[in-house]
Structure 1
């Protein structure tokens, strides 16, 4: 537990260290959006995420970055644990925002950076606010900002998948952007597996083939959700068979 507390303290100090970069980043965020500006705004969140992951002693392997399309995409990932977000920010290979819980908006410094990388805060208990948040996410995608969703809705805390909820797939449908499935494995072993104690793990991010608008335009959101879940499930099973072969 002492090690876990130490990692949390380290993470807090690294986040505090980004305060020096906030004023410049806020000015930059007010300029006309471009790929270059998005990359610059993403530098500090990416740096923090990598440092914290490294501090845990974990190793992150990424496969399939060559499949990433240019422009905005909706990333669809399974949600094993809390460290999924750091793994994606640090190693995915593309600036991304998230559909995040409303509570995170209360966190100082972190919430400021999340706003600048175009995260959307959602209160699932407030239907009207949820609709506004989804519409904001659609606007961000149309403006060229990629977003990650976790359609399971909550952490699985293991290697099994919960059913994908179709509602969030409206983001891609309305914005007319590619959907990129990402299979995450190993993050639950960093925290959730051992009663909240942080430990090292081998984490993999497997980027699968994009599902382009022309491939899903005649499908309902439930069908798209089922397709994405099937892709990620097979990807996770493929990784398991590779390890045990």
Structure 2
């Protein structure tokens, strides 16, 4: 319980402590110095996210980071095991990135402002018009050179099993022609189980698979592309579970 209390105190105190940096970012944005603005935003956000994960006592290992293209924006497509998935990807994968996040996060003061400066998108699935607008914004972000992260399951998994991908989840890639980089997160569900606010240490593995380039015609039928990416992520999950079984038998 002490770990959980300490974590939440740091969460809010550190956001407040970053207020001077937020003002600097706002000024740079108004001046049109986007390069410097993006540099500060990513540096502050990634350090903050990594500290949040470290405070949970969690150890994260990243496999395959050399699979990420260096000089182009990509769409990271990841499974979604828990609340710590965003700070894990933000703090432990070096490439700057923004997230397609649920609309509820917009209600968090300070946090939502930083997310807006990161070019994150808040998706309201209950409003089709707003959802279409958000997808168009994500496509535009990718075309402008900002990598994005999407969780196509749409919600966290309660047991770690991979859920169904939402229809149209990959439109950001097929419409922008950005390469897709599948990501498998295994173990983050154990940090904060769904329905609980108690934080516990865990071992988390992040597997970055080889990028998939978007070819002509993929924008007309994304079913096979979606199944391909889902199978890649699921295979990584199942392989890891087999390793655990052998280790503890």
TM over 0.5, shorter chain? yes
Residues in 2 aligned to 1:41 and 1:195: alpha-carbon distance in whole angstroms: 30
What secondary structure sits across from 1:212 in the alignment?
Answer: coil
Residues in 2 aligned to 1:11 and 1:59: alpha-carbon distance in whole angstroms: 19
Residues in 1 aligned to 2:21 and 2:137: alpha-carbon distance in whole angstroms: 26
Residues in 2 aligned to 1:101 and 1:166: alpha-carbon distance in whole angstroms: 16
What secondary structure sits across from 1:168 in the alignment?
Answer: coil
Instruction: Confirm or deny: 8 A CA contact 1:29 1:41 kept in the other structure.
Output: no
Residues in 2 aligned to 1:92 and 1:157: alpha-carbon distance in whole angstroms: 24
Residues in 2 aligned to 1:192 and 1:204: alpha-carbon distance in whole angstroms: 17
Tell me the residue number matched to 1:22: 22
Cα offset for 1:20? Answer: 1.6
Cα offset for 1:121? Answer: 0.9
Instruction: Confirm or deny: 8 A CA contact 1:122 1:129 kept in the other structure.
Output: yes
Residues in 1 aligned to 2:243 and 2:42: alpha-carbon distance in whole angstroms: 33
Residues in 1 aligned to 2:81 and 2:90: alpha-carbon distance in whole angstroms: 15
Residues in 1 aligned to 2:217 and 2:40: alpha-carbon distance in whole angstroms: 32
Structure 2: give runs of 5+ residues left out of the alignment.
none
Structure 1 stretches of at least 4 aligned residues deviating more than 6 Å after TM superposition: none
Residues in 2 aligned to 1:172 and 1:190: alpha-carbon distance in whole angstroms: 30
**Paired residues for 1:27-38 under 5 Å:** 27-30=27-30, 31=32, 33-34=34-35, 38=38
What secondary structure sits across from 1:214 in the alignment?
Answer: coil
Tell me the residue number matched to 1:211: 212
Residues in 1 aligned to 2:194 and 2:168: alpha-carbon distance in whole angstroms: 29
Cα offset for 1:195? Answer: 3.5
Residues in 2 aligned to 1:133 and 1:194: alpha-carbon distance in whole angstroms: 27
Tell me the residue number matched to 1:50: 50
Tell me the residue number matched to 2:154: 153
RMSD across aligned positions (CA): 1.9
Cα offset for 1:124? Answer: 0.9
**Paired residues for 1:230-245 under 5 Å:** 230-243=231-244, 244=246
Tell me the residue number matched to 1:8: 8
Residues in 2 aligned to 1:115 and 1:182: alpha-carbon distance in whole angstroms: 23
Cα offset for 1:240? Answer: 2.5
Cα offset for 1:229? Answer: 0.6
> Are residue 68 (structure 1) and residue 80 (structure 2) matched?
no
Structure 1: give runs of 5+ residues left out of the alignment.
none
Alignment TM-score, normalising by the size of structure 1: 0.93
Q: Aligned residue pairs: how many?
A: 244
Residues in 1 aligned to 2:38 and 2:234: alpha-carbon distance in whole angstroms: 31
C-alpha spacing 1:98/1:194, structure 2 compared with 1 (3 Å): closer
C-alpha spacing 1:100/1:67, structure 2 compared with 1 (3 Å): same
Residues in 1 aligned to 2:217 and 2:99: alpha-carbon distance in whole angstroms: 22
Cα offset for 1:32? Answer: 5.5
Residues in 2 aligned to 1:100 and 1:224: alpha-carbon distance in whole angstroms: 22
C-alpha spacing 1:93/1:215, structure 2 compared with 1 (3 Å): farther
What secondary structure sits across from 2:86 in the alignment?
Answer: helix
What secondary structure sits across from 1:61 in the alignment?
Answer: strand
User: How big is each residue's C-alpha offset from its partner over 1:17-42, in whole Å with a ceiling of 9 and x where there is no partner?
Assistant: 111200111233353645x6533320
> Are residue 95 (structure 1) and residue 69 (structure 2) matched?
no
C-alpha spacing 1:220/1:42, structure 2 compared with 1 (3 Å): same
